[in-house]
Amino acid sequence: GESVGLHLPTLSVQEGDNSIINCAYSNSASDYFIWYKQESGKGPQFIIDIRSNMDKRQGQRVTVLLNKTVKHLSLQIAATQPGDSAVYFCAENPFRSGNTGKLIFGQGTTLQVKP
Amino acid sequence: DTGVSQNPRHKITKRGQNVTFRCDPISEHNRLYWYRQTLGQGPEFLTYFQNEAQLEKSRLLSDRFSAERPKGSFSTLEIQRTEQGDSAMYLCASRGGGIYGYTFGSGTRLTVV
């Protein structure tokens, strides 16, 4: 079946560096994507979202890029901090007719920030 | 606290026992979701309520699983005759009219021994 997936299970970066987390999706009907951060023992926390009519969206220290041609999504974190250490998931919500709003998640990338 | 609340946070049960989890969504949210998350995996959709109506169920939701939202506010998820394969984190989420504001609770971690 169609799913949203991530390229790397683990990413290790030095504190202060920029981080890039990637996600490939296969559902061409998807037109809305969300990045979540999940810390140990907690539920997923919304970071940033993007609709398919956009290529880029910026938040505070985070940027999401969408390349619909190759069905690729990325999350960039600027000046990575120890508090950014967590598992990051991309999720898809296709706005088809009768959409219930359920999310399809990828497997996650663990971001480790070295001091 | 204005977030999504789930109870209990942890549950250890013996195989074959029944368990019930509760989710209290954000009060103004009429849409409620249950997801299951196993170790190292992303959450998987189980079921969806709009107000008190259960509008979608995943094939992951076997006959042993039942979810209710009797008054369109809190929801319960019951698992009957638990199996070791049911061990997972059960997450609840809620949202209002738009997809923005989709908020997860901290989950109930179930361990079946």
| DSSP symbol at A52 | T
- pLDDT score recorded for residue B69: 97
Which residue has better confidence, B95 or B89?
Answer: B89
Spatial separation of the C-alpha atoms in residues A87 and B80, rounded to whole Å: 31
Which of the residues in chain A have pLDDT under 70? 1-7, 95-99
Determine, for residues B56 and A32 on separate chains, whether the beta-carbon distance falls below 8 Å: no
Determine, for residues B93 and A43 on separate chains, whether the beta-carbon distance falls below 8 Å: yes
Determine, for residues B42 and A101 on separate chains, whether the beta-carbon distance falls below 8 Å: no
- CB of B103 within 8 Å of a chain A CB? The answer is yes
Record the tokens describing residue B43, joined without a space: 């959450």
**pLDDT > 80? residue B110:** yes
Determine, for residues A32 and B43 on separate chains, whether the beta-carbon distance falls below 8 Å: no
- pLDDT score recorded for residue B40: 86
Give the chain A residue whose CA is nearest to the CA of B93.
A43
- Element (DSSP H or E) covering residue A23: strand A19-25
B99: chain A residues, CB-CB within 8 Å: 32, 49, 93, 101
Half-sphere exposure of B50 (CA within 13 A, CB side): 10
B49 min Cα distance to partner chain A (Å):
9
pLDDT digits (tens, 9 = 90+) for B53-83: 999 999 888 999 999 999 889 999 999 999 9
Which residue has better confidence, A6 or B107?
Answer: B107
- pLDDT score recorded for residue B73: 92
- CB of A30 within 8 Å of a chain B CB? The answer is no
Determine, for residues A43 and B44 on separate chains, whether the beta-carbon distance falls below 8 Å: no
pLDDT digits (tens, 9 = 90+) for B2-52: 699 999 999 999 999 999 999 999 998 999 999 999 988 999 999 999 999
Residues 42-61 of chain A whose Cβ lies under 8 A from any Cβ of chain B:
42-46, 49
Q: Residue B34 in contact with residue B91, Cβ under 8 Å?
A: yes
Strand ranges in chain B using DSSP code E only, listed in sequence order:
5-7, 10-13, 19-24, 31-37, 44-50, 53-57, 65-68, 75-79, 88-95, 103-104, 108-112
